[in-house]
Amino acid sequence: MAKGRESAEIISALASCRTAFIGVAVMSGLVNILYLTGSFFMLEVYDRVIPSRSVPTLIGLMILALVLYGFQGVLETIRSRILARVGASLDEALSARVFDIVVRAPLKGATPGDGLLPLRDLDQLRAFLGGTGPSAFFDLPWMPIYVFICFLFHPLIGIAALVGAAVLAVLALTTDRSTRAPTQTATAHGMRRNGLAEAGRRNAEVLAAMGMQGRFADRWGGANRDYMQSQMAVSDVAGGFGAGSKVFRMALQSGVLALGAWLVINNLASAGVIIASSILVARALAPAELAIANWKGFVQARQSWARLSELFARLPAVEQPHALPAPSQSLVAENVTLAPPGTQRIVVQDVSLSLQRGQGLGIIGPSASGKSSLVRAIVGVWPPVRGKVRIDGAAIDQWSSADLGPHIGFLPQEVELFAGTIAENIARFDPNAQSGAVISAAKAAGIHEMILRLAEGYDTRIGEGGAGLSAGQRQRVGLARALYGDPFLVVLDEPNSNLDGEGENALTQAIVGVRQRGGICIVVAHRPSALAAVDMILMMADGRAQAFGPKDEVLKRVLRSTPAPAAEPVAAQRTGANVATLQESA
């Protein structure tokens, strides 16, 4: 039951191409009929032309054969083009869904070792459909017809063809069983190899600065050797069976040639049967041989199908919920309990809070207290295990990401910018973004003047991850992106970790601006300067809310409850010291 559901999307995508498959089947039938041209041409030459010594007959047969070969070439070309377009149609139907899975999988704990494996699986399916593999499978049903024609030539020739077909069928099944496990192993090693390469690319600066590049290269080299060895194992098995089937077919063709000669010597068949039967038997077995030669690609495509089907089942398409009005009033968390996606480890437990428009909340606490996890739930990135996050009374899962996204500004701890212009990054790559809105967001983040000092201003191109900008500049561009479009809810996680004094002043003004226009701003911070413009504080420790309320009251209460004698753990002392600093800044 689950199996049928999990592959339904792929089957549906292929079902939309049923007309094309019918056309390919019809063309395959015509092509296989035209494949008889060579056999019957040789039969006529030996049985009709040579005994009669008729040159006009020979010329007529040659012209007819050439015309038929021309039609065969045209049909095969059209068939291959149709299959290539079927592959492209499958890609077009599933590419958006696969990209959605690539993006959503990390948020659901469903990421494979190689995060781009679903895209590679889709490429594998498209490549197989556009290759010679499907043609071989469309030709296979014609094997019995060829064998039947061989029986018409002579029963012994038919028996030889039948035995050859049986041997190739056994080879095909053996190839399938022998390549299945090595192909799965090669895929697993490939995922590990690509995952290490991607990790090395992301952390190139760390590897270079701390002399880790050589050791990391050794790890990648080991993974690469495992991958290459498993790939060679697959190639050896598939290549061995492919070569064996080819040699067997050639030997069988020669054997049939000898059998035809024996039949002619004993006056059991005409001379034309010698060549015609040899060609016909070779043609009868060619689809099986071609299928065996393409079996490696078939096994890989089948495994790609299975992996994509499993991902489609685990991450079903998100249905578009009923549109809700733009949020403008409140944010409420009701007994929110969280676990990182894909794990059962609780990191936030039973946290509740309530904020109204115009309020600002500062979330404080020691490291690993659950602050960043909580804000991930507030912006809808992590779904709660228990409890609800509500905006204007509606649970956050009642909104689609596309509908709610414009009303949320989020600045994570690790600011990720994308390759493109600064204006595109600030505008969240909205193709209809107005320049005034981009400039307004930049001014709200206090980086308008900084951007103007760049060589091309807002049109300055940056690399992947914000390459070309300093850490502080990336953080401030990320802040401008969070403020773009005046979102109702702005969540900033450690927004001043890379900022100088000017940047911190701009951050404070940005928080004030959000509150003044009736928005809600949430700031996670260790440094007190980030909390100067908030009026509410949530103190967290060990994943639980220790205190929540007006800033002055919470800071005084936390200070009274966290004395720091020498016997207390260092972490507790630091928490008390940080709170004291926060109270002074308030």
pLDDT of 58 above 80: yes
- How far is 78 from 34, CA to CA, in rounded Å? 15
Average pLDDT estimate for 478-497: 89
The structure tokens listed for 232 are 């060679």
Note the pLDDT of residue 5. 45
At residue 269, the 3 state secondary structure works out as coil
Q: How many domains does the chain have?
A: 2
Question: Is the domain of 77 the same as that of 169?
Answer: yes
Note the pLDDT of residue 423. 92
> CA-based diameter of the chain, in Å?
118
Please indicate, yes or no, if residue 579 is contained in any of the structural domains: no
Please indicate, yes or no, if residue 585 is contained in any of the structural domains: no
Note the pLDDT of residue 7. 64
Question: Is the domain of 345 the same as that of 430?
Answer: yes
Please indicate, yes or no, if residue 107 is contained in any of the structural domains: yes
Residues 6+ apart with CB under 8 A from 465: 202, 416, 417
Residue written as tokens 């496990």? 181
Name the residue among 278, 32, 298 with its Cα closest to residue 164. Answer: 278
Question: Is the domain of 332 the same as that of 200?
Answer: no
Note the pLDDT of residue 582. 45
At residue 363, the 3 state secondary structure works out as strand
Q: Are strands 520-524 and 360-364 parallel, antiparallel or unpaired?
A: parallel
Q: Are strands 360-364 and 536-541 parallel, antiparallel or unpaired?
A: parallel
Please indicate, yes or no, if residue 289 is contained in any of the structural domains: yes
- 359-373: b or e for each residue (b if 16 or more CB lie within 10 Å)? bbbbbbbbeebbbbb
Average pLDDT of the chain? Answer: 81
Note the pLDDT of residue 113. 56
Note the pLDDT of residue 205. 63
The per-residue pLDDT for range 427-447, each reduced to its tens digit, is 988 888 898 999 999 998 888
Q: Which residue would you say has higher pLDDT here, 293 or 91?
A: 91
pLDDT of 308 above 90: no
The per-residue pLDDT for range 536-583, each reduced to its tens digit, is 899 888 888 888 888 888 877 766 665 544 434 433 444 444 444 444
Q: Which residue would you say has higher pLDDT here, 444 or 137?
A: 444
Note the pLDDT of residue 382. 85
Q: Which of the 8 DSSP states describes residue 465?
A: G
Question: Is the domain of 30 the same as that of 164?
Answer: yes
- How far is 418 from 422, CA to CA, in rounded Å? 9
Q: Residue 530 is inside which H or E element, if any?
A: none
Q: How confident is the model at residue 532 (pLDDT cuts 50, 70, 90)?
A: confident
For the ranges 264-273, 439-448, 506-515, which has the lowest average pLDDT? 264-273
Q: Are strands 330-338 and 386-391 parallel, antiparallel or unpaired?
A: antiparallel
Cβ proximity of 526 and 494 under 8 Å:
yes
Please indicate, yes or no, if residue 583 is contained in any of the structural domains: no
Residue written as tokens 């598939």? 238
Note the pLDDT of residue 416. 82
Q: Which residue would you say has higher pLDDT here, 564 or 234?
A: 234
For the ranges 22-31, 217-226, 244-253, 368-377, which has the lowest average pLDDT? 244-253
Please indicate, yes or no, if residue 200 is contained in any of the structural domains: yes
Q: Which residue would you say has higher pLDDT here, 164 or 568?
A: 164
Note the pLDDT of residue 563. 52
Note the pLDDT of residue 581. 44
- How far is 503 from 476, CA to CA, in rounded Å? 8
Please indicate, yes or no, if residue 422 is contained in any of the structural domains: yes
Residues 6+ apart with CB under 8 A from 222: none
Cβ proximity of 403 and 324 under 8 Å:
yes
Question: Is the domain of 112 the same as that of 68?
Answer: yes
The pTM assigned to this predicted structure is 0.69
pLDDT of 76 above 50: yes
- How far is 176 from 45, CA to CA, in rounded Å? 42
Question: Is the domain of 195 the same as that of 295?
Answer: yes
Residue written as tokens 């409850």? 561
Residues 6+ apart with CB under 8 A from 73: none
The CATH number that applies at residue 117 is 1.20.1560.10
Domain that holds residue 284: 5-312
Note the pLDDT of residue 74. 92
Question: Is the domain of 138 the same as that of 55?
Answer: yes
Average pLDDT estimate for 291-310: 80
Question: Is the domain of 338 the same as that of 295?
Answer: no
Please indicate, yes or no, if residue 165 is contained in any of the structural domains: yes
- How far is 79 from 87, CA to CA, in rounded Å? 13
Question: Is the domain of 293 the same as that of 400?
Answer: no
Question: Is the domain of 298 the same as that of 368?
Answer: no
- How far is 238 from 178, CA to CA, in rounded Å? 8
Question: Is the domain of 112 the same as that of 201?
Answer: yes
Q: Which of the 8 DSSP states describes residue 532?
A: T
Cβ proximity of 509 and 443 under 8 Å:
no
pLDDT of 83 above 70: yes
Average pLDDT estimate for 404-413: 88
